[in-house]
Amino acid sequence: MHALITGGGIGGLTAALCLAHAGHRVSLFEQVNEIGEIGAGIQLSPNCSRVLHHLGLQQALEAIAFLPQHTEMRHWKNAKFIASTPLGDTVHSRFGAPYYHVHRADLMRVLFDAASAVPAIALHTGARVNSVVDRGDRVELTSDAQTVEGDLLIGADGIHSTIRAALWGEAEPAFTGNIAWRALVPAERLPADLVRPASTVWWGPGRHFVHYYVRRGELVNCVCVVEKTGWEIESWTARGERAELEADFAGWHNNVQQLIKQADEASLFKWALFDRPPMPQWGKGCITLLGDACHPTLPFMAQGAAMAIEDAAVLAACIEKAGEVEGALQRYEDLRRDRTAGIQRGSRRNAKIFHLSGVQAWLRNRAAARAGGRTLDGLFAYDALSVADTQG
Ligand code: FAD
């Protein structure tokens, strides 16, 4: 089959690799000229690293990643340890795939280089897709560069998806009331024990602060989320002022203050977080959606990209099994809708839970400590490579 893909983000590139791996021809259209030089950290849990390994990317990922040993939740002011979940070898042996921390630009380079090396994948950059026409058993796509026909079209074009709008009409995503700051700190600027080999979340009233190593431990990625209104720009490239970030986390533990102080000036960005509720239906006929285009996911479970990667594997498996487009796309959607909707809702819930104060925060901390280390098992155990064989 000839698959057309709109969007060369993590989801679109992974879908291209999965489909080519299954023997199909792919034409991918990405609006920007240069793929992937933006963003900061991404956590890749075993449910998605399993797919990337299946695509032959293990070595390339090991060369760019940091392997965290555990998660840890801490009190915003006194650093008191609240709860932890093992990662590292425990997760790798239990789920057969590792938990990686990577720089987003490094991951994009790995995916882009892998896709560029596959003759069955044609990558068109600087090619914004403007319209699509469903012709029954064929689909026609018009980009800035050309008009092409394929057997199916995958809209992997993010939260403002052109393909979603073409199928279901324009609908703006809603501002969640949260701003995410991103910052990178060169590890050499920090005292040796300030950042542990962990995915650390500091929980505080109305805000939280996440940090972890990326790029083999050379950089510390910080994501700092604050409930705030009055600024609603959603962009990977909107710069922020250190003074504002310092004010947002005034009074927080000294480790957090030091990270903000030592952050690279050029790495300070802020992003207003938007989302949409789960969609009851994603695609129609031989057109479907994938990743943030159909289930934009807040970063509070670190699962948005993971869901896009899982989508890609399940979609390719459904096409391989059905051998016929419409049935395959329907099955893909049926297999994926509930899981992705659950992650969307869970991420929204975490936005509230992470930011509790007073007695509610105390109750949350006690529940988190009692839950022990197994709360992520259901998430990590999902095998996108075999779900089309085993379910339904
Ligand atoms: P996108 O990354 O949005 O890619 C869409 C692509 O389509 C873009 O390249 C865009 O240029 C292109 N495009 C759009 N319109 C068109 C068009 N008309 N024609 C051609 N091309 C088009 N997820 C995790 O799994 N782990 C994390 O740790 C994590 N941390 C995050 C931290 C922050 C601060 C944020 C904001 C998100 C985080 N996420 C994380 C979520 C993750 O970044 C997204 O879910 C993921 O990038 C979605 O990938 P995608 O390919 O579906 O969409």
Q: What is the pLDDT of residues 92-137, one digit of tens each?
A: 999 999 999 999 999 999 999 999 999 999 999 999 999 999 998 8
Angle between helices 325-354 and 304-322 (to 10 degrees): 160
Q: 245 CA distance to ligand 1 centroid (A)? A: 24
Q: What DSSP designation does 173 have?
A: P
Q: Whose CA is nearest to atom 47 of ligand 1?
A: 305
In the prediction, which pLDDT does 234 show?
A: 72
Mutate which of 28, 31, 347 for ligand 1? The one with the most ligand atoms within 8 Å of its CB, which is 31
Residue of 119, 157, 195 whose CA lies nearest to 287: 157
Distance CA(308)–CA(11), nearest Å, equals: 5
pLDDT number for residue 392: 60
What percentage of the chain carries pLDDT values higher than 90?
84
Best of 4, 5, 10 for a ligand 1 pocket test (most atoms within 8 Å of beta carbon): 10
What percent of the chain clears pLDDT 70, i.e. is strictly above it?
Answer: 98
312 lines ligand 1 (CB under 6 A): no
Confidence of residue 171 (pLDDT cuts 50, 70, 90): confident
Over residues 311-337, the mean pLDDT reads: 95
Please state, rounded to an integer, the average pLDDT across all residues of the chain. 93
Instruction: Kindly report, residue by residue over 14-23, the tens digit of the pLDDT.
Output: 999 999 999 9
Nearest atom in ligand 1 to 306's CA: 25
Atom of ligand 1 nearest to the CA of 128: 19
DSSP string for residues in 273-321: EEE-PPPS---BTTEEE-GGGT----GGGS-HHHHHHHHHHHHHHHHHH
Q: Which atom of ligand 1 is nearest to the CA of 157?
A: 7
173 lines ligand 1 (CB under 6 A): no
Catalytic residue numbers?
Answer: 212
CA angle, residues 338, 10, 151, in degrees to nearest 5: 75
Confirm or reject: Cβ of 31 under 6 Å from ligand 1.
yes
Q: Which ligand 1 atom is at minimum distance from the Cα of 296? A: 45
pLDDT at residue 375 is higher than 80: no
Ligand 1 pocket: which of 4, 201, 222, 292 to mutate (most atoms within 8 A of CB): 292
Give residue 14's pLDDT. Answer: 98
- Residue 5 CB–ligand 1 contact under 6 Å: no
Q: Measured in angstroms, how far is the CA atom of residue 292 from the centroid of ligand 1?
A: 6
* Ligand 1 centre distance from Cα of residue 103 (Å): 14
pLDDT at res. 40: 84
**Region of 301 on the Ramachandran plot (φ > 0 left; ψ -120 to 50 alpha; else beta):** alpha
Given this model, what pLDDT does residue 340 score? 97
Tell me the per-residue pLDDT of 32-61, one tens digit each, with 9 for 90 and over: 998 766 778 999 999 999 999 999 999 999
Q: Is 8 in the pocket of ligand 1 (CB under 6 A)?
A: yes
What residue owns the CA closest to ligand 1's atom 31?
299
Q: With a cut of 70, say whether residue 28 has pLDDT above it.
A: yes
The model's pTM is 0.96
CA 350 / ligand 1 centre spacing (Å):
20
Distance between CA atoms of residues 361 and 208, nearest Å = 13
The pLDDT tens digits for 354-370 are: 999 999 999 999 999 88
Is the CB of 61 inside a 6 Å radius of any atom of ligand 1? Answer: no
More confident residue, 140 or 229: 140
DSSP state of 172: P
Q: Is the CB of residue 11 less than 8 Å from the CB of residue 159?
A: no
Ligand 1 atom, smallest distance to 305 CA: 25
> Atom 46 in ligand 1: which residue has the minimum CA distance?
305
Determine the pLDDT at residue 384: 96
Mutate which of 4, 28, 30 for ligand 1 pocket (most atoms within 8 A of beta carbon): 30
CA gap 180, 15 in Å, rounded: 27
Q: How confident is the model at residue 230 (pLDDT cuts 50, 70, 90)?
A: confident
